[in-house]
Structure 1
Amino acid sequence: MKRIAVFASGEGSNFEAIAAACERGAIAAEVALVVCDRPGARVTERAAARGIACFAFAPKEYASKADYEREIVARLDAVGVDLVCLAGYMRILSEVLLGAYGGRIVNIHPSLLPAFKGAHAIEEAVAYGVKVYGVTIHWVDATLDGGRIIAQRAFAYDGDDVHEVERRVHEVEHELYVETIDKLVKA
């Protein structure tokens, strides 16, 4: 059975969708570890409720990004992770993680990349007045929301309610990420 790690910084709704899909067999893998850069974030509670190991750390407690990323790599290696799934992890990865797990790290982003990169993609898309929104899953490289695109799914919306767009993005994310992760672990 393939083993995945989910990295998240907040609520963990994508983690929840992934873990539930693994449990019901919709993803042919198990979540072996959750990595969170915000101790006390909701995702840590969700992981605990499912009995999934969680490494929650405060980046400021480390001398450098390289130091905490080395610890993350050691923890990934210790549980035999095959695929890293970023799911709302709000940090750019350095060469430490990319060097150890490059080609095995995917990210989900709430826009149709290459448009609207960064942390405020939904708000920027709404402000711009787009009529087609979407979600992108891509391989992670050293660029911000760069890397080869694996999957995308779009939906039309002709409004300006950021909360409605977020709700619809989450619906698409939870479905598309599960489908894509399953394909990747079976490849």
Structure 2
Amino acid sequence: MNNVRLLFNSVSEIAGNEKIGLITLTDESHERLISIVCDWNTAEAIDIRVKHKMDKSNTLPEVMAAMLKARCKDERKYYVCILGLEEEQYKTFIVGEDSAEMYKIKASEAVLLSLVLDIPIYIEGTLMKKQSIKNRSCTDKVSIPINVINSSILQETLERAIQAEDYETASKIHDELERRKRQENKNSKIQD
């Protein structure tokens, strides 16, 4: 499998929606950027760890990490791997390097875990090509692949785009919502 190593780049809020965070990761050359949408609590937890805003030695993730390291005398090695898309989310796993262990996890929480445990993050190469954008580090705006945003957030964003008279964005969002409705109808007919 052709995996690409990802490096943490930044965490911020999505403009206009303070309840949603945005994590950005780059490839090792810093040429391509991928974004992961997350809840604000996860974004804030990452921000605290990146900016060292407080003593984290007694926080749950760090305590659990210390416990795991103490219990795993054989020094098992793990990494995060993003393998695909599933229901508007990245299909992400914690993988045991020397074993068949695979634990499914939310992509945003995998980023947090990678920061706490200091474990690498990889993404399947074809997925990286499809989901990433050129890294423009001189700008404060980042494009988010629409296929990793859940429908309720898309609906809210559609309404904001219409209010702002941004009809091009509204049209793209509307098309994606319609595509999802067609897919849901197709899936329900298959199940019947």
TM-score (norm 2): 0.24
Structure with bigger strand share is: 2
